[in-house]
Structure formats: C-alpha cells, structure tokens
A and B are shown apart, each in its own frame.
Chain A
C-alpha cells in the first residue's frame, strides 16, 4: 500500500535551515508529481510546493519562494524540502503528498512538525 513518511522536523532558530525528507513506498514514485503542504498550529492548509515526476517543472507558493527548495531522488524514492532563512511564520506541520496533478492529492504522510523559535 502507498506509504509516505516525513522526517527532519524539529526546533530551529529564526534565520536557520532545515531539510525535510519524505520516504515513499508502495507505488512507482517516478511516475508521480509530489507536493509539500503545511499547516500552522490550529490553522488551515497551505500549499507550499510541487515537483514534476522527472524533477522539473517546480512550483512554489509566494510565501516560500527564494527560501525553500523542493527536490527529489527517484532512485531513492525520496522527496525533500530544503528550508532556509526560516521565520516564525514557517512554524507548521509539513506534509508530503502524492499529487495526481489532475486529480488531487490522493495520499498524505502523517506530517513532521517544524518549530521556528528563539
């Protein structure tokens, strides 16, 4: 069955960096777009970024463009999110999701919490 497992979250100071990973299994990873979505504590969902099955094209939300970088390694069935220049408002649970691009986000991981605080 499809499984997505995020890791790499934690506490980081403002201005710091963090790299999230998402390990995928149970499907042909290289056939699918993948996305990152985040949810601040007690708030709604915010789409962050997605990446084509082959690694390009890539899209970002305006709130993270220039600071976050999405990437993937199809040989390792893994998705990544490099987050630089972190701000307090980046504090959220970060989910990776399989993106059918023309059919919604059909599988989600359990999420990893990123807390940006001094």
Chain B
C-alpha cells in the first residue's frame, strides 16, 4: 500500500496569515503517461463529512475559494491556504488515488489563532 504522511499533525496560524500543510507519499503518484499527480486534498469540519478541495494535486474544485492552492509532484505535495479566514479551522487530509487502496494521510488539524 502507498503510505501517505502529513506534516505537521497540527498547527495554529493567525487570521490573515498563511498556512502550509505537507503530504509525502511512500511512492510516486505521478502517472508518467499523462503527467498527472493522482493526489487530492480534503477539508473536514467537526460533525461534517469531508469536502473535496483540490484534485490532480493542484486543480481547485469548483466553488473552492482561490486562497486554497495545491502544489508538488511525485512524492511531495503541499496545500497552502493564503490569508486564513476564521472558517478555515478544520482537519485537512491528502489522499492518493494512483493505486488502490486509495490511502489517506493521517490528517492535519488547523487551528486559527
């Protein structure tokens, strides 16, 4: 199985500042034939199901604010939230869909200071 490791496990960032969450896969999730990274990011607020933010490592899902961006390739990925808003406090997960099982990272808890 592909192991997804996120860092940090938790972070606290002030309103208006930038938050960065990292995700590392145990093997590359870049499919060479189409040059796409099979990596998604999700946001989950307490008591709610996860919400898809980013797919193909950097493509923002429709309706997701542009302060959310994804980057990286191969085995190392980053979710960046620029100019944090109060509603961004949540758990964030990366997921690879390159190979089944489509494993998730352990999650990163983002607290707004």
Contact = CB atoms under 8 A, between A and B. Distances in A.
A28 to B, nearest CB: 18
Is the interface on chain A under 10, 10 to 19, 20 to 34, or 35 or more residues? 20 to 34
SS class of chain A's interface: helix, strand, loop or mixed? Answer: strand
A81 to B, nearest CB: 15
A47 B104 contact: yes
B101 A59 contact: yes
A103 B56 contact: yes
Interface residues of B, number: 27
Nearest to A103: B55
Contacts of A44: 91, 93, 104-107
A45 B105 CA distance: 8
Interface in A65-118: 95, 97, 100-106, 108-111
Given A37-B50, A95-B49, 9 more contacts: A35-B102, A44-B105, A45-B104, A47-B95, A47-B101, A47-B103, A103-B55, A103-B59, A109-B49
